[in-house]
Every structure is written in C-alpha cells, then in structure tokens.
Structure 1
Amino acid sequence: MKIVLFSMLNFFIITCFSQSGSIKGRITDKEGRYIENASVLLDEDKGVITDSLGYIYFKDIDNGSYTLKVHHLNYIYQEKKVEIFNDSKTVNFTLVKNMNHLNEVVLTPLIETKDQKAKNSGYKVDIIKTSSYKNQSVNLTDIIKQSSGILIRETGGLGSNFKLSINGLSGNKIRFFIDGIPMENFGSSLTLNNFPVNLIKKVEIYKGVVPIELGADALGGAINISTIDLKKTYLDASYSLGSFNTHKASINGQYTHEKGFFAAFSYFNNYSDNNYRMDDVNVYDLDLGNYEQTISTNRFHDLYKSYMFNVKAGVTDKKYADKLYVGYIGAKNRKNYQHPDSNIETVYGDFHSRNETNIVSINYEKKIGNLNLKGFAVKGVINNATIDTSSVRYNWNEDTILRDENSLKGEIFDRKRFSIITDNIIRSSLSSSYRIDNYNAIKLNISQNYLKRKGEDKVDEFNYTFQNPNYLHKFYGGISYAYKSNNNKIRASVFAKRFMYKANIKIQPQKEGTLVSNEQNINKTGYGATFSYKATKNTLIKTSFENAYRLPNDYEILGDGVFVEYNENLEPEKSNNINLGVLNTSKLKDIRIKSEANIFLRFSENFIQLGASGGPYSQYENIDNVRSQGIEANIDLRVNKYFAFNVNATYQKIIDRTKLRNGLPNESYNTEVPNIPYFFTNSRITITPLDFQNKNELSLYLDSRYTKDFFLTSENSGDINTKRIIPSQFLNDVTLAYSMKKGMYNLSLSCLNIFDTKAYDNFNIQKPGRSFFVKFRFYLLNGK
C-alpha cells in the first residue's frame, strides 16, 4: 500500500504543479477620486473593504475563474470576471454614482461574505478555517477544540471513542453535519476523529441555538463541516507517520470543466497500533482473579484502521440548477478493544468490531430571483459487526489462559458472539429562503430521517438482539423570519421548529427471553429568537434564545450491542438555551486584536447522560433537571503576518437540580454532574519567522491545553478525601512546518505532549504520552 501511495504521489508531482496568484486594484469614480468603504467580494468567500486610497488586494488565490463584486451605497453595483493562473492580476473599477442614494451615509459594508453574515447575526457561531492546519499532523478534533467552550475527551489513541461537549452539553445533544447533511447513523468509519483535515475547507460551530436550515433536533449545538468547494481543479495529497506505528494517508482532487461539469474524489487511510505506555495498571491472576501486582506496560490490543472513498460528479451554473450532483461514500474500519471505555480493570486480547458504510446521495441548489432552494436525499446501508469468539483470557501482563473446552463464554458475553447489526437509512431535506427585500427574509426547512435496524448472530443461536426489525422515523419542520435594519446595525430573527418522532422498538436478548416492545409517538414544538446590535464601529452585541427539544436516538434507546445496554423508557430532552455575547475588533498600526466573551445558560429537563458503572456495561439515563451555566472568552492577537496568539478559556457548572429520584431524595441534588470538566483553556502561538518572497515559508506552532481536576463520581457520594478524581492536566504540543514553492511542497514535524505529562480523559482512562509525527503534503493543480 505504501509503495502504491508513494508511486502515485511521485506521478502527481511530475504531471501537475501547484499555482496561486493575487489580485490587486483600485476603485475610483469618473473624476478619478478614490472611493473609500466600498465592499469587494471574491466569489462569496473572501471580502475586503477599500481604504482611503481605494485599494483592494487579495493574495494566495488558487488558480481558477473568479467574480469580483463591488458594492457601495452611493454607487451603482459592478462586477468583473478575472482568471488567475500563476500570476498577479490588476483589476480596477470606475463606479458611477447612484442618484437615488446620494444623501445616504455608508455606515457598514453592504456586501458580506457568508462567514461575515453568520458572525454578525445573533447566533453564537465560531468559524474555523483549516488552511493553517493542513500541513500539520492533526485530527479534525484537534482543530475543533481550539474553539472556546469546546471540550473533546477521548478514551485512547487514534480511532478511540470520543466525547465532544459544547458549553457542557455533549453526546447526541450535539449534531454533526458534512456540507449540511447529518452524519447521524453514518457509522464509526465516518467520525470527526478520523476525518482528515486536508478534505475540509472550514468548520462552523453553533453553540446552544441552531439555525433551522440544518434541520436537526440539536439541543446543545451543531458542527457543520464544509468540504472543498466545486469551482477549482486541484489535487491534494498527504502522508503522515509517527509514534505507535501510526500512518495516515489522504488524497483528494477535482476536475472542473469550463462548461460546468465537474468530478471530484477523496480518499483516506488511517492505521495505528496505539501501543502507547500505560502506567499503574493492576494485574490479576487469571485462575482465581486475585490481585498480583501493579505494573507499567504497553497496550497490546488496540489496533485501529479505517479507510474512506468518496466520489461525486455533477454540473454547476446551469439554467435548471446552480449545483446538481450525485455522490457515493464507501468506508470501512476495524477497531480492537483493549478494555471497556469506562474502566481498565478488564483486559481484552481478541475482542474487536468492524464497520462498513455505503451511502449514495443526490444534492441540488438553485437560485430563482430572490428565492434560494437547496435539498438532498441520502440512501445508505451501514453494517456493524461485534466479534467476541475467543476462548482465551488476558491480563495486563499479557498472560493468557484457555477456558475450559466446554465453556461457551467469550471475553465479554456469557456466550461467544459474532453479531452483525445492519442499519438501512433514508434521509432527505428541502430548505428554501426568500428575500422579500434588502431588509426582510423568510426561510423554510423540511427534513426526515428514517432508520430500519436488523441483526443476526453467526455464532450464538440464542442471541436474538435486533433479529426483530426496529424502526425509527424522525420528521422536522422549521420556519424563520429575519430582519436587518437599513443601516445594518440591527439584525434579528425569530423561528419555530416542529419535531415528530415515530418508533417501533422490539428488543429480545434471547429467543426464549421476553420480547420488549415499545411504540413511541412524540410531537414537540420548539421556538427561539436571535438579536445583534452593532453598538460601535468595532463592537457587536449579540444574544440568542431557544426552547429546544432533542429526541432520543437509536443508540441511546437500543444500545450498541457491546457496552451500552438498551433503555426503551428514555424521554426526549428539553432545554431553554440562552447566549449573551460581546465581540470587539480593534487595530493599532500592524496589531489586530479580536476579542469575544459569551455567557451561556442551559436549563435542561430529562437530561440524557451515559451513566458510569463499575463493570463493562453502561446505560443512558434521564436526569430530570439539569442547569448548565458558564462563561467563555477568546482573544485573537495578530502582529503583521509573523506572529499570532490565540487563547480561550471556559468556566462552566453543570448542576443536578433533581430533588427526587424514584420517589426518594436525590443525594446528588444541587451538586455538579460528575465526569465533566468545569474549567479548561486552550492557546496557540503561531510564529512565521521566514517568508521568502511568498514562495517559501517557515512556521512554528505552539499549542497548550489546561484542564482543572474534577470528580469522576458524584460529590456527595463517599468520603471527600478518598473520592476518585481526574487530575488537573497541562499538555503542550509543538509543530514546525516548512512550505516550498508557494505551498506546493510541505513538510512538518510535530511533538505532541512535549513534556510527557500523564494525561487522563473520559472515565479517568490514560491517554498517550509524548509522541512524534512527520507529515508530507503536496498541493497540486493541473496546468492548462
């Protein structure tokens, strides 16, 4: 495989070459006077405002065709086409006065990029561009947690299960999307912690309040991953290798024809033994189960490998469609389990799982006057296999013992198991937006999500789990109205969401067991509003509120057939989410400072959380009343292009407000929900000491993360002096990256956890220590 990848990369280097260019120019009127505060947009993606001399400048532009759009309230709109190919183009504009607006004053730019519109709205949204990360050996989760209020906790190395929280709300309360398509039920081969950064253009993180166009029942927020757009012909290939025998390869590219046809593909392959060192693990005698000793050793059964292939083809800029394309995603993975996710006392040596995902989709976009239409349909089959067929027992010393030949036990289950769970999914969505005028707009969205789950066991004839098909069907509808004042100082919106849920759940663990049958029909209505006010030229105040619902999904109700047991009695979650934030941008000569602070409140009922247990099994539970509150802040400082510093901090409290549980006083009333950090920070320093005429560049990245210690179990249970806690941690990473020939060749060296600090995460599971990685990346475009 490595030889094939290496050969392909060399072939691409020989046949293709990377290009980028720039656009500069000046905007004047007919008399030659410079026009200040004109908005200039480059294909809805990049935007600048002209200075007092009317100058515009865009750098590091990939080869391709672009449209420059110029707007000023006192002048007639203009646009020009420009093509970039290895060069710098000068594009000047001469604007003609608009006699209808001569007496009006320009306060803010009238043309905004999509990202600027999102940031200036009342939604609490963070937008992370991945361009500065593409040359580094990082996962997508490493990038997302750079946002304030975001905490990602993993139970091991590459491919391990992870828990992402936004402002204290985590798990399925957060919804994930790829280009607006929900990733729910896509399988373990397609998750955030194995998705390569090179395939991604940007990440949008909505906190608390989620816009209706995403069409989901998110309770605590949503993350939308935007892949590379459809207007460029390019090829991007990378290969990374490092500690624990970790290898990551990715290739993605696209061909775009001048008549509007395009074809794109992407591929990634991940592999790791994850054989990092574990400290202070207990060894038990395999015959009697008695404690023998405590040792430090390497993990020996934690291999993870996965791959994904994605292809799509279609047309753009046609009369019948602005975008119309079909796509296919195929993915597989294998994951070995060293121990349960909730503890390390039980050791496995053969137990593993496999996943296979096959998804086809069709996507459509069209703008008709002031009406925008967008829709998709997805059909997929996802197979999840759980293999527990070994008769061998293991401990941390890698001692083994063969069970009695008459024993039917596996490593986990009382009977050996080779179960395959098959999910058939059908998902679709249609959204529309209509701009009534420059100041008023309405949006509509209708979505549905259908799941049929069936299972079989190739080994255990008495395992009847999911052999009776289960059906879950979700429907979603949303409507919103948005207003913008004529001076752009005030923006507001109101919205309503309707959730409908139908489920036919049948669970029968064994053929002779009792069939658990439960039919659910749930109808809920949510609503909310957003508001933003530009108090000064550099200060924006924003707030948002949502009365949100989140319906329990298949994983929470049905379990996973491995460690998570079913709970058919789960109720929907409800939460009142409130955000209040202030953004400020200031500039002093070559120093630019962006700062933001946000207060959040979440009042949740029927809060769903995975309960901790002493054994390998866990179950999702409803905690009747939970209050989440906190503050997050972020400062982004940049000096020229040579130095940048970003730091964010989050302080949060998630309080159990349930007075009675099962008719008895709740001993955890008014205490913090355990196993959730309450204070953490992230920081990044970027130093670019060398920039050789924009051709070669050397960059140094220093990343730090601090998490304050927190309780693993409830504060009120047991002696406070002997309670189990997850200790405070301060981790540091460093990366040195060098780019050559305007980003054509890229090399980076990374050291993660520089000081080899002991790191612990979800349920106090130890994470990898110091590790080293090297990454090669080639960014290529076809010549004309």
Structure 2
Amino acid sequence: MFIVLSQLSFSQDARLKGRIITEDKSALPFATIVLDSTDYGATADENGNYAITNIKPGHYRVIVTAVNYLISEKEVDLTNGTPATIDFILAKKGTDLEEVRVTSYHTARQEIKQQTINTLAFKEQPATLVELMNRSSGIRIRQTGGLGSQSNLMLNGFQNRSIKFFKDGIPLDYLGSGFDISLVPVNMLERVEVFKGVLPFYLGADALGGAVNMVSRNNMQDFLNASYEIGSFNTHRVSLNAFHINKAGKLFVGANAFYNYSDNDYKADVQTLDSVTGTKEDYRAKLFHNRFSNVYAEAYAGLRNLSWADELKLSVTAFLINKQLQFGSTMDQPFGAAKARQKAIIPTLNYKKNLWNDRFSVNQFLAYSSLNAETVDTAHGSYDWTGAYTYNPSSVGEITSRGTLSDIDFQNYISRTNLSYKFNTKHQLHFNAVYNKYRRVGEDPYGNKFKNGVDALARPANYDKLIVALGLSSGFLDNRLQNSLAIKWFTYQTRATDADFQGNEVTTKNNKAAWGIAEGIRYTLSRYASLYLSGESALRLPELDELFGDGNLKLSNFNLKPERSLNLSLSYKVSVPEKYTAEVNTFYRHTKDMILLMPYNVLFSQSQNVQNVRGYGLDADGRYFITHWLDVNANFTYQNLRAVNTGYALTEGARLRNTPYFFANAGVNSKFQAVALKEDKLNVYCYYSFVREYYLDYIPKDFEPKGFLGLFGRARLDAHNIIPNQHLVTAGVTYFPEKNRYSIGFQVKNLLDARIYDNFKIQNPGRSFSVKLNYSL
C-alpha cells in the first residue's frame, strides 16, 4: 500500500533533462544544474548529460554553472508535469559568446577513461567512502579491521600503491595517513574520479593500475554542511565543511574538519594456545585494545580573478591520529598495551593562471609536510585474547622483546608543475613535473645502535624522485575521436644507513632512470556511448612508506625495486539519463617487480617485490531505472593474476597471494516524496556484496577449485590458508523532513552478521548500526 501511494504521488512530478557542452562542441562534464530558489539539482555526467527527477510542477529558472565558464540561465515551464529537455552551451570566461540551444551531439574533450562516483548524492547516508567505492565495478577496497585500519585498493588487476591517490589533482603523499580514504567523510567531497588505464595529463604521476582523485566541493558558492554519525562499537563521526566568497568574487575562505572515534570492540574468531595441551583452540574474542581516534582540520584562503592570478590559494592542514594496537600483520598474536600516534602540520600553496587568451595555462602546487610518528611498546609482558596479562621480567615490550619508544620524523617536500598550451581547439600540448624530496630521521632508545652507541634512526635516510611527462592531446572527426600520447621520464635516488644486530653499518644507495610511454584513444559512438582503448609501458617508483616504513608496524625496505609494467585496456560505456547505464572493461597486465605489502612475520608487514605477475581481467557494471523513483544496479569483476617465471614448480602459474579474483555487487535504490509531510522525501536502499574465496599464500594451480574459472567448488588445501566466500548485506533509509536541508539516515551494515575477512584474513566487524544527522545551508 505504501509503495502504491508513493507511485501515485510521483505520477504528477515533472522531469528535466539535457546536455551541457562548450563552445567547441565538447561535452562539459560535472557542470552543476540547479532550479533557482529550490533544492532541485544535478551534476552532468562524463558526457555532459544530466537529468533532474521528481520535480514539483511549476515554472522555474534553470541555472548552469561550471568552473572557469560563464553562468547560463533559461526558463522552463513544467506546470503540466510532462518531461522537458533543455540543452546548454557554456562560454569560457572572458569571451562574448552567449549560450544557445544545442541541437546536435558531439563528443566530450575529457580524460580517456573515467568512472565517477557522485559522493554528494550520498552525503546523507551513514556510509563510508570505502563502502561507496566498493559498490562500483572493478574496485575493491580491503581493510585490516574496523575504523582507522589500513586500507588497500584493488583496481583493474593492480593493488595498493600501484593505484595513486590524489586530492584535487595533487598526489596525496604529503598528507600521510591523515587523509586516508577510510577516514575522509563523504560530505567533504563533491565526487570521486576513478581512472582506469592511462591517467590524464594534469595528474602526471607514476601510477600503473590507475588512479583515484578525490575532488573537494568547489562550486564557489557559500555553503555550510555539518554532520554527526553515531554507530555500533561506540563509533562517532563528525564533519564540518564551510565556504564563503565575497560579493566581488575575489576573496574566498573556507574550512574542512572531521573527527572519528571508535572503540572497535567487535568480536572476532581467533585462536588461543591451551596452557595444558599446548594446542591451538578456536576462540571468539572481544577486541579489548583497539580504540582509534583522529582529528583533521584544514583552513584555507585565497584570491581569484586577478590580473596576475586566476587563483592563489594558501592552505594549512593539521591532523592527529591515536591508535591502540590490538594485533600486528595478522591476528595470530594480541597486544594489550602497545599504541601508536601520528601528527602533522602541512602548509600548501597553489597558483593558477591562464595567459594569452586562455591558450597557455600554469598550475603550480607546493607543499611541505612534517609528519611525526611515535610507537610505544613497553608492556614488560604479554597479553592473551581474554585480556589477561603475564609479566615477563626479561622482556621490555610485547611486540618485540626489546620494546620500542620510537619517535620518527618524516619530512616531505613536493612540487607539482602543470603547464599546457592550446594550439587550437583540436590540439593541446601538456607538460607535468612532480618532484618529491623525502627525509627520515628519528630516535629509539630500544632500537638498533651502531657500535659507537649512536641510534641508527639518528642517521637520516633520504629519497628523491622526479616524474616528468610531456604529452599531446588531439581531437579528430569533429572531436569524436580523441587521442592522448604521453612520454614520461622517471628518476629516483635513495641513500640510507642502518645498523644490523651486531651494530655494523649497512649502507644502501640506489638510483635509477627510465622512460615510459602511454597512449589513450577515445571514440564517441553516439551522444551516450563511447569506446576506450589505452596502453602504456611505465615505471612505478616506491612510495615513502614502502621504503621507510610507517614508524609503527610497517618495516622499511631500502632495497625495494620500482615496478615496470605493460598495461592494455579496452572499454565500452553507454549512459542514457533516467534509463540505463552500462560499462564493460577488459585489461591485460604484465608487471615485473610488483610491489606488494606482505606479512614479514605475525607481527610486522613489509613491502616486497614479486618478480613477475601476468594476468587479464573483465569487469562489467550496469544500472537500470525501472521508474524515476526506483533503480537497480549490479556489477562483477574477474581477474586472473598469476605469478610466472618463478623458478619453482609449486608456485609457477599460481594465483597472486592474498588477492581476490572474483567479486560482485548488486543494489536497489528507491525514492519517495510526500510520505508524511508535503515536502518531505524518503530514500530506501539495499546492497549486496560477494567475494569469492581466495588464498593467503600461493597454492599450486592443481589445488585450485575445478569449477568454471575457479568460481565453483573449494580448493584442496588447509582451510587456514583459505579466505572463505563472503556475503555482505547493507540496508538503510534516509529521511528529509523539509526539502534537502535536514536529513536523518539509518543504516545496518552486515545485516546477516556474516564472517567478513579482508587483507591477510583479518576479520572485520560483524553486524553494526549507525545513525547520521546532516544539515546543509
């Protein structure tokens, strides 16, 4: 009865759709479309198409805005409730072209391959960014536990740091763990751009498997958004985002802040040692030393639309992370007193300017990051999974017998220079250079010492790297065919001295330079459909934490080699607003010296090289709008990644360890209006996620399940090495009492209370409940 009444209420609603393009007939993705003086609005997709549904019949003014483009407005009459179509052409600022009605389609001049997650559409849900991304095809983010645990991204056959993270186009290295994808609130972002294959020129980094660019809200309009979320395991999440620009449109200020806290005291299946028999027994333990908290704050101010700068922005970011350490790289041994802390203050400067009638553009970013990491391990004993403490006079710590009081500073200077020159509307030359200078220095009274008694951490470790890219983007056939060709140069140098257990000096010096090439082609088949092809041979240099560790439970590896990879991908995408979207993507990878984070022992992890990995994969995603108030979606990913040329019969051709090879998602979303009040709204959703069993370590190919592609049956080996099939169900509801200003969201994650495991078979929380209050102005 409820659904029937809701359908009747929607039968009178109006709908508006259309397309946004530029003066050169290219699509304008991510333009903002709003109905003046209302909360109705939408964001254009990658092809410039938009749709606004469930509009109350009436007469409206449609306003379209986009960064660096003139505002365009039109009137629309929706009083009869029938669908309407309005298209726009937006002119670049500084030109005299007025907007006119679009009557034909043309391709978008944009990145070769992009998948967009509109986070603003989910800001009222008590869902994390990790959950939203895991609902997308080809993406799998794994966490080693609850809130604040380490996250690992898989994309198109690559994982961990092979996929680069960016914040507004800047590599995230300088923010350390403060802006981890598992911590960032959805409210803080406008969208997340996922690139599969060749990266766009303005990113210009050394990612191999793709990239994730988290885009902050930047519509240059005053706004205030605040949210508070409370959930199971004493979880609290708070966010505040504010922006103001003066009437002249030249001075702007803003702030972003968030706070996360959780006891993370969920129950997990572990093994304990029987004191009498000495055998291991299964035990259902409640985690007792797993609290996590962090605070992040960013304040910024800037100038816009000046003769000498289109934008000059100064930001200062600070964060603090406190974490109790319940276990190490696996859950084999519990800790009860060890803890870690990270803190940082980071100033940044960003300058943008277009010259010569917008033909030449400059974008310069500078940052200095000083991150401090501390680890305290002085328990003088050990704990078991019941929380019982046993004093050990011969042991200083519980993680290691010698203990630790490490205090390490990681310093990072970053410069990103992006230049582009537009020859004409068809061809544009790009130059991008990213330079990083790292330095690690610290102290640990319980750590390794040289024979002269000097702390090994007191000797600075240095790492410098530079990635330079020169590229040409071209448009042919009235911009329906786009080509992006880039040549890259990579160079790095490491210099570090450590002490072995005897106090001897161990000096490591590495340097390397190499070239890479990348090619991407996009062909627009129609207004709604595109075909993508990309290929590259490139290098991926180690990151700071991969070489130097994180100062906590991740060890350094100064002998780590860079990755070299050959990557090919082919994709097809179609998107028809209000009807359906579909995408199919295939890829092939051959990587030498792949860098993977692996357990060093049951306590520590370390980034190590895997000599040769080869494989292919397929992912597909679809969304279908049954009505304008109900839609369903589903996707799957299959990736066949295997170790080759290992020299060992047992591991030759084995699946890549600790790596899922099949996962899938399905979901349903519904929207209702006028449920209890005249202008209220109700959104209801449910998502299902499946991960096929995979394996902690390499297993012989003959031991794999015999079913089709390994998707059926079970592996013939010790169950402890198997991460079993996983089924995760999440359901929620969001209610808007008055338009979109206030909202309350309720969500149940892991509705069936299933056993969910992730990286290295570390168990994640069971069933949990959360409530989120959101206010926007």
The CA distance in 2 between the partners of 1:531 and 1:584, in whole Å, is 16
Confirm whether residue 766 of structure 1 aligns to residue 763 of structure 2: yes
Tell me which residue corresponds to 2:709. none
Confirm whether residue 338 of structure 1 aligns to residue 326 of structure 2: yes
Tell me which residue corresponds to 1:637. 624
Residues 482, 25 of structure 1: alpha-carbon distance in 2 compared, 3 angstrom cutoff? closer
Tell me which residue corresponds to 2:668. 685
Tell me which residue corresponds to 2:373. 384
- 2:365–2:415 CA contact under 8 A, matched in 1: yes
Query: Where do 1:228-239 residues align within 5 Å?
Result: 228-229=217-218, 231-239=220-228
Local SS of the residue matching 2:366? strand
Tell me which residue corresponds to 1:597. 584
Query: Where do 1:78-477 residues align within 5 Å?
Result: 80=72, 107-109=104-106, 117-118=109-110, 121=111, 123-229=112-218, 231-259=220-248, 260-285=250-275, 290-291=278-279, 293-341=281-329, 343-368=330-355, 369=357, 370-404=359-393, 407-457=394-444, 462=449, 464-477=455-468
Confirm whether residue 543 of structure 1 aligns to residue 527 of structure 2: no
Residues 484, 41 of structure 1: alpha-carbon distance in 2 compared, 3 angstrom cutoff? closer
The CA distance in 1 between the partners of 2:354 and 2:227, in whole Å, is 36
Tell me which residue corresponds to 1:721. 717
Amino acid at match of 1:456: E
Shift in Å, 1:318: 1.8
CA deviations over 1:511-563 (Å, ceiling 9, x no partner): x5122212222111111111122234543211011111101223223333443
Residue identity over aligned pairs, in percent, reads: 28
Residues 718, 384 of structure 1: alpha-carbon distance in 2 compared, 3 angstrom cutoff? farther
Shift in Å, 1:327: 0.2
Query: Where do 1:569-584 residues align within 5 Å?
Result: 569-584=559-574
The CA distance in 1 between the partners of 2:156 and 2:417, in whole Å, is 30
Local SS of the residue matching 2:458? coil
Shift in Å, 1:182: 1.2
- Pick from 624, 633, 636 the counterpart of residue 646 of structure 1: 633
The CA distance in 1 between the partners of 2:244 and 2:88, in whole Å, is 31
Residues 289, 178 of structure 1: alpha-carbon distance in 2 compared, 3 angstrom cutoff? farther
CA deviations over 1:661-695 (Å, ceiling 9, x no partner): xxxx3531111112111000122211113357993
Local SS of the residue matching 1:361? strand
- 2:440–2:548 CA contact under 8 A, matched in 1: no
Shift in Å, 1:595: 0.7
Amino acid at match of 1:524: A
The CA distance in 2 between the partners of 1:338 and 1:696, in whole Å, is 45
Task: Give TM-score, length-normalised by structure 1.
Answer: 0.83
The CA distance in 1 between the partners of 2:494 and 2:298, in whole Å, is 31
The CA distance in 1 between the partners of 2:237 and 2:352, in whole Å, is 34
- 1:231–1:256 CA contact under 8 A, matched in 2: yes
Tell me which residue corresponds to 1:520. 510
- 2:374–2:552 CA contact under 8 A, matched in 1: no
Residues 222, 616 of structure 1: alpha-carbon distance in 2 compared, 3 angstrom cutoff? same
Shift in Å, 1:227: 0.6
Shift in Å, 1:702: 0.7
Residues 230, 293 of structure 1: alpha-carbon distance in 2 compared, 3 angstrom cutoff? same
Confirm whether residue 566 of structure 1 aligns to residue 567 of structure 2: no
Residues 757, 408 of structure 1: alpha-carbon distance in 2 compared, 3 angstrom cutoff? closer
- 1:64–1:231 CA contact under 8 A, matched in 2: no
CA deviations over 1:702-750 (Å, ceiling 9, x no partner): 1111001112211129983325210001100001000132211110111
Query: Where do 1:470-509 residues align within 5 Å?
Result: 470-508=461-499
The CA distance in 2 between the partners of 1:438 and 1:109, in whole Å, is 14
- 1:23–1:91 CA contact under 8 A, matched in 2: no
CA deviations over 1:418-440 (Å, ceiling 9, x no partner): 10110111111111222211211
Shift in Å, 1:65: 12
Amino acid at match of 1:497: K
Local SS of the residue matching 1:611? strand
Amino acid at match of 1:680: F
Local SS of the residue matching 1:193? coil
The gaps in structure 1 that reach 5 residues or longer are 1-21, 28-36, 50-54, 70-76, 84-89, 96-104
Shift in Å, 1:130: 0.6
CA deviations over 1:183-215 (Å, ceiling 9, x no partner): 115222321111111111111111232223213
Local SS of the residue matching 2:117? strand
Amino acid at match of 2:196: K
Tell me which residue corresponds to 1:731. 728
Task: Give TM-score, length-normalised by structure 2.
Answer: 0.84
Tell me which residue corresponds to 2:7. none
- Pick from 515, 519, 526 the counterpart of residue 529 of structure 1: 519
Shift in Å, 1:397: 1.5
Residues 469, 56 of structure 1: alpha-carbon distance in 2 compared, 3 angstrom cutoff? closer
CA deviations over 1:609-633 (Å, ceiling 9, x no partner): 2334553233332222111310010
Shift in Å, 1:441: 1.2
- 1:654–1:672 CA contact under 8 A, matched in 2: yes
Amino acid at match of 2:583: E
Amino acid at match of 1:168: G
- 1:42–1:67 CA contact under 8 A, matched in 2: no
Residues 532, 648 of structure 1: alpha-carbon distance in 2 compared, 3 angstrom cutoff? same
Superposed CA RMSD:
3.4
- 1:43–1:66 CA contact under 8 A, matched in 2: no
Local SS of the residue matching 1:271? strand
- 2:348–2:367 CA contact under 8 A, matched in 1: yes
Local SS of the residue matching 2:187? helix
Amino acid at match of 1:727: P
Shift in Å, 1:497: 0.9
The CA distance in 1 between the partners of 2:346 and 2:61, in whole Å, is 31
Amino acid at match of 1:127: T
